[in-house]
Amino acid sequence: MLEPLFFLALAVLTPGVPSLQPPPLALHVDAIIQPDGAIGPGGWIVLRNGRIESIGPAEPPVGCARLEFAGGVAAPGFVDVDTSLGAAGQLSEPARPFTPEVATGDALEPDHSSFLAAARSGVTTVGLMPGGRNIIDGRVAIVRTADDDGRGAQLCGHGPLRYTLSAQAFDGSRVPTSRMGALPQLREMLAKSPAPSSGTSLVAADTADEIRIVIDTFGGAGRSFALLHPTRADDAIELVRGSVSGRPTAAVIGPFDLDTGERDVRVAKLLADGGVAVAFSGGGDGGSLRLTAAVATRSGFDAKAARTGLSLAGARLLGIESEAGTIEAGKRADLVVLDGDPLDLAAKVKLVLVGGAPVEAAKESP
């Protein structure tokens, strides 16, 4: 069963060997995570030229390299919106509070070892997030954790702007020193700049008062927005549900571990019950990402929504849902094959593909 994978890996990954066009690859698994997060029936997933060509029970075309995973579950590659992977230096410009021109992709070190570790754990796309010290922090970089050769990371675009209206953006050493002073300037900037036709503003807000200000400011300006780590959103849940000026379309939650308090964990369910999509974050580590989702389900969070929170919800926030986040024909072949449900922490990653290229496995200890 390993010969086709060896051939594919040799053709794609061997340094110094001229790039060869690999044959189509057909994966057979017993279950496939559906776009709505349900665990659906398995079958053959045929990959060609870095994309998903077909999915179904029919035998793959003649000439495909085949890999069969008994008990295997295919999931879309995990998408983690909020990371600082591979960043060289600071991810913010602390001298000024409004820095919409900052692009974190300029700080990217594509050969940083953290990307390979992330890819091996199933994370195929990350957001390189600005530092969170400014009212307008700059743009999130969208980074694939492996390039088309399955090795170094690849910058593939600039995503949404990040804003911060929590206390850390106001340190007293520069003006404006408070939200009261900052909000008129922010509202004027939002009014003057056209709302993007697509994409979501990512806004860090923690307390109920901060969340109220975000809703009034961004919802009032007609902007689509998502909340970053609203840990005290339980105090503002009625405001989120009942807002007439606009409500957050999504929230980025996590990371959680087994010691995270129940109040923090239940925020995910409260937001989801209020119609807010939840994208989980694990700092770029697939194990932490899966743990966060699993811990949320133990507090009543819906399992299907938890699986979409590993991939599709994050892809939507980054504006790449047409390319990533689900296993569908025509999309990039960013896949993770596990030997069980991604929410089962005992399930192990068996194969990761980024753009159809296999990620080099970690060497096992003797």
Distance (Å, whole) CA 153 – CA 307:
24
Task: Report the SS3 class of residue 107.
Answer: helix
Residue whose structure tokens are 């995990």: 78
The pLDDT tens digits of the residues spanning 253-279 come to: 999 999 999 999 999 999 999 889 999
At residue 355, what are phi and psi to the nearest 5 degrees?
60, 35
Task: Report the SS3 class of residue 313.
Answer: helix
Res 13 pLDDT > 50: no
Task: Report the SS3 class of residue 160.
Answer: strand
The pLDDT tens digits of the residues spanning 123-182 come to: 999 999 998 889 999 999 999 999 877 668 999 999 999 999 998 888 777 888 888 889
Please confirm whether the linkage preceding 176 is cis (ω < 30° from 0): yes
Nearest-Å Rg of the Cα atoms of the chain is 21
Q: Which helix (H) or strand (E) holds 54?
A: strand 51-56
The pLDDT tens digits of the residues spanning 173-195 come to: 788 888 888 999 999 999 888 76
DSSP 106: G
pLDDT at residue number 194: 73
Task: Report the SS3 class of residue 113.
Answer: helix
Instruction: Give the contacts of 102 (CB within 8 A, at least 6 positions apart).
Output: 92, 93, 130, 137, 138, 139
Reported pTM: 0.92
Q: Which of 248, 210, 249 is nearest to 231 (CA)?
A: 210
